Structure 1
Amino acid sequence: MVDGQDPDREDELFTEANRWFFRLQADDVTPDEKQQFSDWLNADTAHVSAWNGVHALMGSLRAPAQASYDERLEGKRWLSRRRPSMHDVRPAPAEWMAPRVLAVCLAAVLGLAAYVQGPILLDRWTADHVTVAGHRETLSLADGTHVELDADTAIKTDMTAGERRVTVLRGEAFFQIADDPRPFVVTTRDGEARDIGTAFSITRRDSRSIATVETGIVDVKAASGSGSTVRLRAGEAVDYDRGGVSTPRKANLDQELAWRRGRIIFRQERLSDVVAKLNRYRSGRIVIVNPWVGDELVSGTFDIDRPGAPIDALEAVLDVRATYLTPYLVMLR
């Protein structure tokens, strides 16, 4: 315990540090949140101590992670304002953490896990067709439409006498539409894409949707109903959310639909975004331990069925190291 610190305050700080630790690993963490974390860490040496305590809870990862943490802080001022020296506040030994603190940390971890996983489980529960991380699937709908599901995808279907409707709850699905007089509509929380004789994909991740057209024409409309319908032609894509639809852009079909050929292609993308995509194709998880690592830019082409290859490549070309805690959990630092 830090001398003179109130035990309740100690619990509160550990809860905050736990929340920050797991939030910084999230796929949708924003630059503003990273800055808020920097401000929080910089505000008080007690915050630094609590943050170090969280790393101590990582068990076998504690020593290498802290060594990397200290080394990078020594060589690079990644906080925007003056901060306490990490050498003035040492990581807390295991004995420092009383059972009540461990209980608070465990509760924070479980609560956050439930918060993150809850929507995923709900999507899968309500879906008609589901793929999990590391698995893809091809299926045919009742009308003969050919559908390819990327990893970690959930869809539900509703075929009526007047309309064919598919809802992409999460993930990405590629549709090759069967000839049928009934309209074919693909919806997400963000809007709908109406087929006009085509082959296209719909992606729903990170609080937005993407429509990418390989052949034919697709009309896209936001869920809010505001704004006009945007028409896409072969080789075009748009991003859309409930508020509106972006201007059509030229799509790199070879890269954006590479998953259909069992490949993943990155072109100067942030490592945090790369890891989020790689996690969809693993029976496990890659976690970035040090927040600044996520801003490194990555390019490469990898086979989906060789999940270890991207990690080996990242170690070879970037200043990162991979620690395998189990075959299913890899820490990048």
Structure 2
Amino acid sequence: MTDSPAPRPTPAGPSARARARAMDEALDWLVRLQCADAEDTLAFEAWLSAAPENAEAYVEAEALWHGAPLRQVAAQMHQQQRRSWRGRLRSHWKPLATAALLLVGLCTFGNLPLRLQADHLTVVGERQRLQLDNGTKVLLNTDSAFASEYREGRQIARLLQGEAYFQVAEGARLPLEVQAGPLRAQVRDTDFAVRYLGGEAQVRVQRGDVDLQGTRDQRIRLRAGDSISIGPHGFGQRQRPDMRKDLAWVDGRLVFENCPLSQVLAELRRYYPGWIINRNTQLENMTVTGNYRLDQPLETLRALAHITSARLHEYPALVILN
């Protein structure tokens, strides 16, 4: 009786190689996305959609990266070798630790001017209430940077990034001057909002009057119900928007009426601390009407998926609509 030959190890098939490749690329993306610009974001979305294993690999790598301190990740990687491609992370442990330290320094330094100027910062999805020395009440919206000071008899508020809602009482001890990029506003006894994103400021007046100064010493007065944008080239056209929708965030709501889903998702991205990716271009022009809680963006996405008959895939810090 002859001994049976020992079984030969089965070589890794294409799917295993594909998962290993996807994990290597996912690790590269984890590093690159820490300080991503618009071009990086588009490239990442293209990579994520290129192959089904890419999304899975990124989610697993991201969960390991963010789900615990790096020392714990190293221990987990040792115990999780039942999936061969995940075990490959062991060889990346030292590069990951080094990259993490470098990224903390690089990203903090890259944002240093903003951090040094700001008295108050809000993270994605956070709002913060303030009161200035002259009694003005300020509500900072998501991902905003704000500073204020008293100078030469003036109360000055600077919106460095994001969005803020100002309530200036009639009996304020000092007039308020608001600065946001190219915008200068002088106000007394008024309620109004300023959004400053991408180098352009937008003002919406809910109550009272607001005197604005733009580039080239342009001046205009807005009254209750008015809205206008101010960019590097001056003022846009005066508008009369629906303040109930545009300022719903002040009351913790997001309101949409016959709004394309692409615009709805763009607004939700400001409040969701992760990635929202739409892989179905046919959904982009579908109109949406609804009133949602600002502090529950994931619940809003689930509702949108239901009314548009889209499939929603939820991962840590990543939501994909199909």
TM over 0.5: yes
Unpaired segments ≥5 residues, structure 2: 1-24, 60-84, 86-101
**Once the two structures are aligned, what percentage of the paired residues are identical?**
27
What does residue range 188-227 of structure 1 map to in structure 2 within 5 Å? 188-222=180-214, 225-226=215-216
Is the alpha carbon distance of 1:233 and 1:134 closer, same or farther for their aligned partners in structure 2, counting shifts above 3 Å? same
1:306 is the counterpart of 2:296: yes
Query: Equivalents in 1 of 2:263, 2:108: separation in Å?
Result: 19
C-alpha RMSD of matched pairs (Å)? 4.3
User: What amino acid maps onto 2:55 in structure 1?
Assistant: M
For residues 144-203 of structure 1, give each alpha carbon's deviation from its aligned partner in whole angstroms, at most 9, with x where no partner exists. 111111122110112123211111111111111143464411111132222143111111
Query: Equivalents in 2 of 1:206, 1:156: separation in Å?
Result: 18
State the 1:289 CA deviation. Answer: 4.5
SS in 2 for 1:250: coil
User: What amino acid maps onto 1:59 in structure 2?
Assistant: E
Structure 2 residue corresponding to 1:57, chosen from 40, 43, 54: 54
State the 1:232 CA deviation. Answer: 0.3
State the 1:258 CA deviation. Answer: 0.7
With normalisation by structure 1, the TM-score equals: 0.63
Query: Equivalents in 1 of 2:165, 2:149: separation in Å?
Result: 17
Query: Equivalents in 2 of 1:267, 1:117: separation in Å?
Result: 39
Query: Equivalents in 1 of 2:146, 2:221: separation in Å?
Result: 23
Query: Equivalents in 2 of 1:188, 1:280: separation in Å?
Result: 19
1:159 is the counterpart of 2:156: no
Farther-moved stretch of structure 1 (188-197 vs 138-147)? 188-197
SS in 2 for 1:144: coil
Query: Equivalents in 2 of 1:145, 1:230: separation in Å?
Result: 22
Q: Are the counterparts in 2 of residues 177 and 198 from structure 1 also a CA contact under 8 Å?
A: yes
Alignment correspondent of 2:67: none
Is the alpha carbon distance of 1:317 and 1:220 closer, same or farther for their aligned partners in structure 2, counting shifts above 3 Å? same
Query: Equivalents in 2 of 1:152, 1:280: separation in Å?
Result: 7
Is the alpha carbon distance of 1:311 and 1:133 closer, same or farther for their aligned partners in structure 2, counting shifts above 3 Å? same
State the 1:58 CA deviation. Answer: 2.4
User: What amino acid maps onto 1:309 in structure 2?
Assistant: E
Alignment correspondent of 2:274: 285
Say which structure, 1 or 2, has more relative contact order (CA 8 Å, 6+ apart).
1
Unpaired segments ≥5 residues, structure 1: 1-13, 42-47, 63-93, 95-110
| Structure whose alpha-carbon radius of gyration is higher | 2
User: What amino acid maps onto 2:150 in structure 1?
Assistant: M
Q: Are the counterparts in 1 of residues 201 and 230 from structure 2 also a CA contact under 8 Å?
A: yes
Query: Equivalents in 2 of 1:116, 1:287: separation in Å?
Result: 22
With normalisation by structure 2, the TM-score equals: 0.65
